[in-house]
Chain A
Amino acid sequence: MRDVTTVEGASPGLAAPGRAPGVLAAPLATTVAVVTVVASGLVLARYDPALVVERSTTPWLSFVELAAAVVMVAGAWAVRATHPLASTGLAVATAGSLLPLWAASPWLPGSVRAGVLAAAPFTVAGVAQVALGWPTEVPPAARRAGRAVYVLAGLAGLTHLLGYNAFADPGCFRTCEDVPPVLGGILTTRAAVTVASLLTIAAAAVGAAAAVLAARPARAPRSVTGAVVLALAALALAAATRLVGWGDALASVSRFAPEPFAVALVGAVVCAIGFRTVRTRAAIDRLAAQLSDPAAALRQSGGAIRGVQFLVPDDRRWVDAAGQDVGDPPGPGSDLVLSDASGPVLRLLLARRADQGEVLAGLTPATRLALRNAQLAAVASARLAQVRASQRRVVATSDAERRRIERDLHDGAQQRLVSVAFHLRVALSGADPAAGVRLTSAEARVRDALARLRRLAHGIFPSVLASEGLGAALDELVAASNVPATLTVRVDSVADAPAMAAYATVVAALDAVERPSVATREMISVLQHGGTLTVRVEVTGGDGTVVAPDCTDAADRVGALGGHLTLSGPAQDGMLTVTAVIPCGS
């Protein structure tokens, strides 16, 4: 159930860190906005009715500008992590729309005040980038269009920077100092403004067209595209108005500067989307929490529900969330059984005061889904436990049978063969030489049969394991092998089943040595730590003489106890490691 939460991290585009411009852009834009707002505040503080009339501004407009600045900056931060390119665009637009306002700050040097006006065209580029850079995978066409917009804006800014002299601008209405630009002799201010404005309009047109058309395969949401196109239209219109009204001082003075508001519009839309993302994510987190721990979710039910139990289908038994069997609820009315088309699925154990109707009404679809999920998990656990138990029974039954066969061989066939050997010996003492030879040969055959039978019986069931314990049985095993081995056994007391599993593991690993060389060594360790038995067998130096062992029986025994067996090798140099971790429940 944990992986429900990983969906969050795995969802593409939610986290795209490491885009350097996006990291710095938002803080920089914030700085610009703060400086602008503070400067604006200072202008207001030095309230001069003459100036205000001259600029035809009112204090409320400054407050609106403040609000606009806040919205842009908030937008840039809201999608900084989720849409870094768009965030950068918004930051650029923020700076581009706010920096020109610094021109009205009388305490800045004249050259700076003239220079900051050149930032205005970048507003267009930044706004266009919000739409073009929104998708996680920006289509190549949109990428190219974005670059073109930036080039146009850059050219406009450059032209402005090189050719604009505030003193020569009839639209300049306040403290317009004479700061001759670099290309002042070649390019008149009017020409510079004309070129810059036309380039800005062109940039806006390209940006808007690209936002609608070029970004087709992966486009920004409709609301973002709409806001961007609207803002670009406003910016283009502002540039055109300024161009048309060139020379009309009154028109310039009374002109409303729409740039910050155009950017603020985009910022507001972006903010809304960022807020929606946060809300959606919180809702998904809550759902995930419910899915992974419905019990905790139920506890938040105000104490009406004490717990939940699940029905194992076709089995008529109830289990808890961990798959353990549970008894019947204390009495009628103390539980609420929920069913689906196939019949009862689960029951909620109700507190004494709880009202069934209220609880039913309180079950949201998400809670039902979470409960269903928990039921599947609980039933799977219960079934797995059942399968394990049955596997253990199969192993135990087969062991009991093997033990019986071993005893039968020993107490029946073997004893009789021994007595035959004795009687052959008795017959031999009174026999003539010719019969004696035959009797001696017969006795040798009986002995051979006995030896074979003993090996066979031991292979069927190692009786020493049951009678003397795991350590003794492993001692026997190592002693019977002709490969040098070190054996470390540290166990307290182990039940029959885990002991058999450990023994089978060692037998399987040792069987891998087919033709031992003088360099072949075996290292066997069986260690008990609390409720876990760890068996490790290493075979080394058996160059070309070690085959892959058949661990099926060992793995079955280990698996039946809920442990696991791992086999690595044999490698080129004959190195082989078999490890089994066996729960031994003590």
Chain B
Amino acid sequence: MRVVVADDVMLVRSGLARLLSDAGVEVVGEAADADALLRLVALDQPDVAIVDIRMPPTHTDEGLVAARRIRERYPRTSVVLLSQYLEPRYAQRLLADQPGGLGYLLKERVSDIAVLVDALRRVTEGECVVDPTIVARLMQRRRPDSPLTLLTSRERDILALMAEGRSNAGIAGELGISERTVEAASAQLFRKLGLEPSPDLNRRVLAVLTLLRN
């Protein structure tokens, strides 16, 4: 897998690149700002771009804007955004339109390199990955008119794990139930959220989207 890393702090950038190489991921380039990142992506056509949300010059949402541009221009390149912040809004803004091939993780979590590598693999497969902390926050929201209120607590747990990018087997293992139970509950969950039967992966993404939009 070929990745590029964009972060304005050199120490973070190099640390991350080092961790990834150790884990067997090929880091083909490093960028300190959004413009350099876009040049790298255009040049190297990596599988994934790992992008810090806050970069120069304004340190607000440069990474977010760059991620959107990458997904528009280079559909083959997936993006994993790293954030210092526990701000579900950023995740929502990024993922609300087209969540496939996108990930959003808290920066501190990726020092556990296995999590990052797993996320990289999932986004290249077209899934979306959202940091568990942010998913937990989203699930806590109480909007009276949200279809999420129709879900049972078991279905909510499953949806949360789906949003984190877990497979059915992973969800079954986490909750201590059989994979068939997960499949049945998922079907019920999709129905409650008004999602028509279609390829399963797509429906998973749409379910996560419902979570993000509410």
User: Among B9-17, B28-36, B71-79, B163-171, which stretch is in contact with chain A?
Assistant: B9-17
Residues of B within 8 A of A (CB): 9, 11-12, 14-16, 18-19, 22, 54, 59-61, 84-89, 107-108, 111-113, 137-138, 140-144
Closest 7 CB pairs of A and B: A422-B15, A419-B11, A421-B111, A415-B9, A419-B12, A479-B137, A472-B89
Within 426-464 of A, Cβ neighbours of B (below 8 Å) are at 426, 429, 443, 447, 450-451, 454, 458, 463-464
* Residue in B closest to A455 when the chains form the complex, CB atoms: B86
A424-B85 Cα distance, complex, nearest whole Å: 21
Assembly CA distance A464 to B141 (angstroms): 17
List B contacts of A468 (CB < 8 A).
87, 89
Interface pair A454/B85, CB less than 8 Å apart: yes
Quick one: given A450-B108, A485-B142, A486-B142, are A422 and B137 in contact (CB under 8 Å)? no
Evaluate contact between A479 and B111: CB separation under 8 angstroms.
no
> With A425-B111, A450-B108, A454-B84 in contact, is A415–B12 under 8 Å at CB?
yes
Residues in B neighbouring A463, C-beta threshold 8 A: 85
Choose among B14, B89, B140, B144 the residue that contacts A464 (Cβ–Cβ < 8 A).
B89
CB A265 to nearest CB in B, in angstroms, measures 83
The reply on A407 being an interface residue by CB < 8 A is: yes
On whether A475 and B141 interact (CB within 8 A), knowing A454-B86, A463-B85, the answer reads yes
Q: Separation in Å of the B81 CB from the closest CB of chain A? A: 15
Complex Cα spacing A103 to B143, Å: 93
Q: Is the CB of B142 within 8 A of A484?
A: yes
Q: Which residue of A lies closest to B107 (CB)?
A: A418
Q: Is the CB of B107 within 8 A of A479?
A: no
User: Within the complex, which residue of A418, A419, A479, A487 is in contact with B88, where a contact is CB–CB below 8 Å?
Assistant: A479
A 484-519 contacts with B by CB, 8 A:
484-487
A361 at the B interface (CB under 8 A): no
Q: For the complex formed, measure the closest distance between the CB of B8 and the CB atoms of chain A, giving whole angstroms.
A: 8
CB<8 Å pairs between A and B, sample of 14: A411-B9, A415-B9, A418-B107, A419-B12, A419-B14, A424-B111, A425-B111, A426-B22, A458-B86, A463-B85, A475-B88, A479-B88, A479-B141, A485-B142
Nearest CB to that of B9 among chain A residues? A415
Chain B residues near A424 (CB-CB < 8 A): 111
A464 to B137, CA, bound (A): 15
Residues B140 and A410 in contact, CB atoms below 8 Å apart? no
Inter-chain contacts of A447 with B (CB < 8 A): 108, 111
Q: Which residue of B lies closest to A473 (CB)?
A: B89
List the B side residues contacting A472 at CB < 8 Å: 89
Q: Does A186 touch B at the CB level, under 8 Å?
A: no
Residues of chain B within 8 A (CB-CB) of A418 are 9, 12, 84, 107-108, 111
Q: Are A478 and B141 in contact (CB under 8 A)?
A: yes
- Smallest Cβ distance from A567 to chain B, in angstroms? 25
Residues of B within 8 A of A478 (CB): 141-142
Residues of A within 8 A of B84 (CB): 410, 414-415, 418, 454
